[in-house]
Structure 1
Amino acid sequence: MTASTTRRTTAKSAKSRIAAVGAIAVAGTLLLTGCGDQTKSDESSSDKASSKAAPLASKLPKEIRDKGVIRVGSDIAYAPVEFKDKSGKAIGIDPDLADALGKQLGVKFEFQNGTFDTLITGLRSNRYDLAMSAMTDTKDRQDGVDSDTGKKVGEGVDFVDYFNAGVSIYTPKGKTQGIKTWDDLCGKKIVVQRGTVSHDLAKAQAKKCPSGKKLGIQAFDDDQQAQTRLRSGGADAGSSDFPVAAYAVKTSGGGKDFEIVGEQVEAAPYGIAVAKDQTELRDAIKAALDAVIKNGEYEKIIAKWGVEAGAVDAATVNGGK
């Protein structure tokens, strides 16, 4: 074999190797391109699935969306609105509704227990993202005004209203002492939960009572403590929001401890409280609430707890007066 022949053979081999390498490179490029397209396709499918699973997630503030959790301040001792089962899990109207809202928004609502009269303060200090605790939407709370003194104590909160309830009086069963109205409480003792509308009504009534017929008010951190006091004979009557009073009458002592007297008063909306500067979160909650009302989940939850009379047809922002 001559030198020239050797050189031609080597050149052909080199060309073959170059061609092979080129083919591999092209194939690799096509493969990578295909993977890229598939990745984009997978991401697109994932986004679509996520959007379908949580259709309103994009309405939440990015910070909350990224965390995946909404912190909820609540006094979890107000059955049937929120209370703990035997395992310590929060159950009731509010937790059930929060779960339904969470499905729309793609986040978990995490209930954190606190005394009722500290919940709005917790919102102001950013301890909670929301307060959801059978809280009546009132103009004073919207404006940050102390209902006792009329003085400004904070910037107030916004409410997304989701239920309507009045206030009821209940007594030991068979021991009504002729109590039917708030005027009938003069000269008696009443138990209430501190910071509630019932507490406000009791203080207002006490100012109206004639001399010699003082209304004694015993205020407790939670409604269960108030019920225990009344059950033990330490007071003549108690007052709570109607759903709570009705539930206590139905369940306490197997229905033998209490009875409701008179009619509901001060019917007003329950609201989910949101800090004034969190308008994006407020509007996301409203949109989610409207969605669960529309899809029927809201109706099922309200019926589950036997409080259909308080249902609303649509979410409202700051509907309290």
Structure 2
Amino acid sequence: MERSVRSRKEAASHMRHVTIKDIARIAGVSTSTVSRALSGSKELSEATRERIVKICNEQGYRVNALARSLIRSRTNVIGLIVPEVTNPFYAEVSLGIETHARQLGYNVMLCNSQQDTKTTEELFGFLTSHQVDGIILANSHSDAPRWIQQFAPHLPTVLLGTPASLSGDEVNSVCVDNLAGGRLAAEYLLSLGHRSIAYLGHRSGSLTHQLRLRGFMEVLGKEGLTPTVIENTADSSSIGAGYELSRKLFNEGCPHTAIFAATDSLALGAMQAADEFGISIPDDLSLLGFDNIIYSSLPKITLSTIDQRKSLLAEAAVDILTQIIESDERDEFTHRMIRPALIRRSSCASIVD
């Protein structure tokens, strides 16, 4: 009988609800450290995180997502606003953001602004009314930092695609180093012997495009060269825009040996137009893009390009946003810049003397 009573007591002890305080006591750390370990925070070492997770598993501790949401007044949902998810670049970035956010315990609510300021404002209101914990705005428009300050002044936000640090805006931002990307493109084409080069698809309203062009012209200028700049007045840097701009260029008789397209989508449009005009790439014309979208590596395309390193951009945006959400620290602003990389494929060739 005594043995039976002892067994019931032991069972009751094991069935006791294990709290985060229990885990912290066993691990010899604070409750906030346990919380960071379970949320995947980068502030902890992998060894510490693994040790805490192991203790949680051994003790049968499970995070109650609903309770955590109520206690912290959080939903574990973040909003993501992109100009257009049909754009291959934004489609890949969106997937990267969703994947990394899920790993950290967050779900993503995806919205498309359709390149419209009014729609962007409405989407900020929509996401705020649905009590998202924070918002990532993916946009390269020069007014994007102002939109965040105006539409979501009290909500954790991160701007992806525009270097807010350059204009002094008090906005958290993540972007590729577009200035360095433009320089990298010019240096590569010059190394192949090209001297007559066109820059295809500059959009004056995009700070991203302004920086790419500036870096490109800086390097060419040092060699005493001035590229032909072909402006894009369309709302987006689409394949269709690249096709129309290139058709016009080829109709007028393209004198250049190389084209640097501001985006891969523009470059794909240029490829289509070149094919219609019987212009061989790269035998007659070298073509370099920017973005390294998934289509660029296809066997019949193999576009040389400047890689934005989209996975790093996506992870950085999520990390910055979730750290703000979980720490409630909003007095400082983070500006993270990712260095681009040159991807050599077969759309560029050396000039033969």
Higher strand proportion, which one?
1
* Category of TM-score, reference length = shorter chain: 0.3 to 0.5
* TM-score calculated relative to the size of structure 1: 0.43
* TM-score calculated relative to the size of structure 2: 0.40
| Higher Cα radius of gyration | 1
Whose RCO is larger (CA < 8 A, sep 6+)? 1
